[in-house]
Amino acid sequence: MSDAPEKETVTPTNFLRQIVEADLTSGKHTTIITRFPPEPNGYLHIGHAKSICLNFGLARDFNGRCHLRFDDTNPAKEDVEFTESIKESVHWLGFDWGEHLYYASNYFEQLYQWAEHLITTGKAYVDDLTAEEIRQHRGTLTEPGTQSPYRNRSAEENLDLFRRMRSGEFADGAKVLRARIDMASPNINLRDPVLYRILHASHPHTGDAWCIYPMYDFAHGQSDAIEGITHSICTLEFEDHRPLYEWLLNNLPVPHQPRQYEFSRLNLSYTVMSKRKLMQLVQDRDVRGWDDPRMPTLVGLRRRGYTPESIRTFCERIGVGRSDSWIDMSILEESVREDLNERAPRAMAVLSPLKLVIENYPAGEDEEFIVANHPQNAEMGTRAVPFSRELWIERDDFMEEPVKGFKRLSPGQEVRLRAAYIIHCTECIKDPAGNVVEVRCTYDPETKSGLPGAERKVKGVIHWVSAPHALDAEIRLYDRLFALPNPSGDDWKQQINPDSVEVLTGCKLEPSLKAAAAEKRFQFERNGYFCVDMKDSTPASPVFNRTVTLRDSWTKR
């Protein structure tokens, strides 16, 4: 009956969606097939999430499919450790490749045959030049390259040599197979690119079956062709490779002609995204591992408390384009807040405890308040929160001499204890050094939360935890990993934010948090969103990670 317009979730368009739409309506394709092709040499990060959401999202929205393909052509750098983690992260993010799990290494035999085909047709040759010599012959950006003296070997000789390369006759680096294209091409990728190199290394997936391995360029397009990929989407730095991608497809009897499209990779402020740098942070112990909650890896974000939904929302919001861009961290942060605000049950936790004593509350007595788990969603239920004469409150919620605009507790002032009573501060007690160690106050029994007539307005509301009932916990406060928006240069590690993690012990939690399961997320009222650490937390000594703070329009001033 409502006239309210449907709240439709519009997926923002982008040039790739338009291409896919056009290809489908024109009949160029009846279904689309995309792929996400990680190299198993590291953990997935938020930049990969952009690609995953793009590729799997396109397939999902246009009733196609998306393959997960490991681009495992370099056994020197790859490891099974990474393939399991990658699969888990893709699933965690919410995508499923179904039966379509592939490895480029599954195509090694076919690729080899195609290499022989190239040799036979005079379009590839075995080169004996060293890596250094090949580099010198390549020319420069402004000068053409020069031909290798081995460039004009006969097809028969090349075939013989290539077969002997395969059989293991030569040492690493002794020979390579190169495409014969154009040493004078202005596109350096076309100056007789290396197709195969000798690598006497055991492969995580093919074992010792091979001692020659195809280069990326010789594996990727053909793998796309074998799988029937219609739209092969990669990042901008591969744009220069597209002529080579197409040259190979045009010169080989492939079963299908995929098309490559490029988009700009994600840059996120205050963090780093390159695998090399992430690896270095882990190896140098600047962080506690790939899943350190400060890392932009998916395992790190997960441990930090980010939800898969929030990361998908983030990827939708930032869009897909071709211009270099730096996404502000606040977009990622706002994406989790939005998700967690709706889904995280509320609880009270005091991070930096200050004792508060209610002088007119009978000693030794206590009571329970039934508190809603979510202020806007009654379906999330209620919980019992104990109250007593001695409470913990946040140190920051008391100021002996309040600054202008301070709405919390100070001598002579009153404030509401969330879900409980209004209290009036009488005095504070200090240690010999002058530090406030205890706050004294009185309460008004008539103002008990929920009581008729208890809605008297007070300027502030603070959270609290009953001291005798409190649970002790460790809480880890995380902040951005780097102090500068774009950590770069040789001294990029000098730019690590020294306060990127602050470990608080002796924090006080309300007792309902006792049985919280690993990864369970909460909003600690007025403090932020927190989750139970999936590795270090135990029922006896709980550990929480701060995912993100609440927006704060007060301390900002």
Partner RNA sequence: UGGGGUGUAGCCAAGCGGUAAGGCAAUGGACUCUGACUCCAUCAUCCCUAGGUUCGAAUCCUAGCACCCCAGCCA
Active site residues: 39, 265, 275
268's tokens: 């996120």
- The length of the chain is 557
Question: Cα separation of 251 and 124, whole Å?
Answer: 11
Indicate which single residue of 510, 525, 542, 544 sits in contact with RNA (rule: CB under 7 A): 525
Vertex 29, ends 249 and 221: CA angle to 5°?
20
Min dist CB 536 to RNA, Å, is 26
* Least gap, CB of 456 to RNA (angstroms): 9
Among 252, 419, 423, 475, binds RNA (CB under 7 A): 419
Residues 273-302 touching RNA, rule: CB under 7 A, are none
Least separation, in Å, of the C-beta of 238 and RNA? 6
Cβ distance 74 to 39 under 8 Å?
A: yes
Taking contact as CB under 7 A, which single stretch among the options 43-51, 281-289, 316-324, 508-516 is the one that binds RNA? 316-324
Nearer to RNA, 292 or 347 (CB): 347
Question: Rounded CA gap, 472 and 349, in Å?
Answer: 10
Is residue 168 involved in binding RNA (CB under 7 A)?
Answer: no
Dihedral through CA 408, CA 410, CA 415, CA 418, nearest 10? 60
Report the Cα 366 to chain-centroid distance in Å: 45
Give me the least distance between CB of 329 and RNA, in Å please: 8
Instruction: Enumerate residues 369-398 that contact RNA by CB under 7 A.
Output: 374-376
Is residue 236 close enough to count as binding RNA by CB under 7 A?
yes
Q: Around Cβ 117, how many Cβ atoms within 10 Å?
A: 14
Q: What's the rounded Cα separation, in Å, for the pair 137 and 196?
A: 18
Least Å distance between CB 90 and RNA? 16
**Least Cβ distance, residue 533 to RNA (angstroms):** 22
Distances (CA, A) of 206 to 75, 385, 391, 432: 10, 59, 63, 72
Burial letters 188-219, b for 16+ CB under 10 A, else e: ebbbbbbbbbbbebebbbbeeebbbbbbbbbb
Q: What is the DSSP string of 84-135?
A: HHHHHHHHHHT---TT-EEEGGGGHHHHHHHHHHHHHTTSEEEE---HHHHH
56/218 with CB nearer RNA: 218
Given 526, 530, 542, 546, the residue binding RNA (CB under 7 A): 526
Q: Select from 7-15, 118-126, 476-484, 508-516 the region that touches RNA (CB under 7 A).
A: 7-15
Of 49-57, 248-256, 453-461, 533-541, which part binds RNA (CB under 7 A)?
453-461
- For RNA, give the closer residue by CB, 461 or 518: 461
Minimum CB–partner distance for residue 541 and RNA (Å): 25
CB of 129 to RNA, least distance (A): 6
Tokens of 407: 């709405």
Token pair of 520 as six digits: 């369970």
- By C-beta, is 256 or 317 nearer to RNA? 317
Select 251 or 449, whichever has its Cβ closest to RNA: 449
Quick one: 153 or 416, whose CB is closer to RNA?
Answer: 416
Residues 16-75 that bind RNA (CB under 7 A): 18, 37, 39, 71, 73-74
Stretch 470-509 residues interacting with RNA (CB under 7 A): none
When asked if residue 551 is in the footprint of RNA (CB under 7 A), the reply is: yes
Tell me the one-letter amino acid at 262. E
Q: Which of 213, 247, 290, 387 binds RNA (CB under 7 A)?
A: 213
Report the alpha-carbon distance of residue 266 to residue 328 in Å, rounded: 11
Burial of 453 (0-12, 13-18, 19+ CB in 10 A): exposed
- Where in 327-366 is the site for RNA (CB under 7 A)? 327-328, 330-331, 334, 337-338, 341, 346
Binding residues for RNA restricted to 73-112, rule: CB under 7 A:
73-74, 76-77
Tokens of 196: 């195969």
Of residues 251, 449, 495, 497, which one binds RNA by CB under 7 A?
A: 449
Closest listed residue to residue 464, CA positions, set 427, 417, 504: 417
* 234 or 471: CB nearest RNA: 234
